């Protein structure tokens, strides 16, 4: 049931792909808080804030797909523990624990991507607002204002979907962690039996999370498609 919800494939879309060295330097500038220098460097390469926003939304979209796949994989690792012989439990537990750790890492990467989208979107809208005052033609200024308002509305829908999907990460991760730690302390058939009752709730949480991620992915697709070129 859950696996059927993984209907989105990675498209591999990218607005641009700078050389690794340049990309690393730009990331360092951004991490250091040098946003003015960061944006200036991109502008010299011909990329405006809207291009960076589009690229970051594409990255978020792909990270959401990766999180969906990894969380389902972790859930499958839990299921594989049940019905095993005692001699097989240790290896199966190790696979489950590794899958949980990957889930944590992918969730952390997604959160960072979402933070970057929020940062670039805020900077883009602030710049757009300032530059409206520099347009002397009232008709052109009004058209640009309308475009800004429409883009803000579309972004607000995306931001709400991102926030909802992000909020669903922690409950699932905590459930995974609970099972990892409990099994670490007592890896035997009796321990598995006491955890099996929790599987239904975990599956429902994962299913809800995937549904929220799919809604967010669709919102990202719409935002990318309608973002002014």
What's the chain's Rg over C-alpha atoms?
Answer: 22
Report pTM. 0.81
Task: Check residue 192 and give its pLDDT.
Answer: 75
What are the tokens at 203? 């599956």
Per-residue pLDDT tens digits of the chain, which is 229 residues long: 555 555 443 444 444 544 444 454 455 555 545 577 788 888 888 888 899 999 999 999 999 999 999 999 999 998 888 777 777 888 988 999 999 999 999 999 999 999 999 999 999 999 999 999 999 999 999 999 999 999 999 999 999 999 999 999 999 999 999 989 888 887 776 777 777 777 888 899 999 999 999 999 999 999 999 887 7
Task: Check residue 43 and give its pLDDT.
Answer: 84
Task: Check residue 33 and give its pLDDT.
Answer: 54
Residue 209 and residue 172 in contact, taking contact as beta carbons nearer than 8 Å: yes
Task: Check residue 82 and give its pLDDT.
Answer: 78
Inter-CA distances, 181 with 55, 186, 193, 198, Å: 38, 9, 15, 14
Task: Check residue 8 and give its pLDDT.
Answer: 41
DSSP 103-135: HHHHHHHHHHHHHHHHHHHHHHHHHHHHHHTT-
Per-domain boundaries in the chain: 48-226
Task: Check residue 86 and give its pLDDT.
Answer: 75
């Amino acid at each position: 049931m859950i696996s059927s919800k993984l209907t989105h494939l990675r498209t591999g879309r990218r607005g641009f792909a700078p050389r690794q060295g340049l990309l690393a330097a730009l990331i360092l500038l951004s991490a250091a808080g040098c946003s003015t220098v960061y944006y200036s460097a991109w502008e010299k390469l011909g990329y405006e804030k809207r291009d960076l926003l589009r690229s970051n939304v594409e990255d978020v979209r792909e990270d959401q797909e990766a999180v969906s796949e990894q969380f389902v994989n972790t859930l499958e690792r839990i299921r594989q523990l049940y019905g095993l012989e005692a001699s097989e439990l240790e290896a199966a537990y190790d696979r489950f624990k590794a899958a949980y750790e990957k889930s944590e890492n992918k969730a952390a990467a997604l959160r960072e991507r979402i933070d970057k989208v929020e940062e670039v979107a805020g900077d883009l809208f602030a710049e757009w607002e300032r530059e409206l005052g520099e347009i002397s033609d009232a008709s052109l200024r009004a058209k640009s204002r309308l475009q800004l308002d429409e883009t803000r509305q579309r972004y607000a829908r995306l931001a709400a979907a991102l926030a909802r999907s992000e909020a669903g990460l922690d409950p699932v991760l905590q459930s995974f962690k609970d099972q990892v730690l409990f099994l670490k302390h007592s890896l035997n058939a009796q321990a598995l039996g006491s955890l099996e009752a929790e599987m239904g709730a975990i599956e429902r949480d994962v299913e809800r999370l995937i549904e929220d991620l799919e809604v967010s992915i669709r919102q990202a697709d719409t935002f990318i498609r309608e973002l002014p070129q």
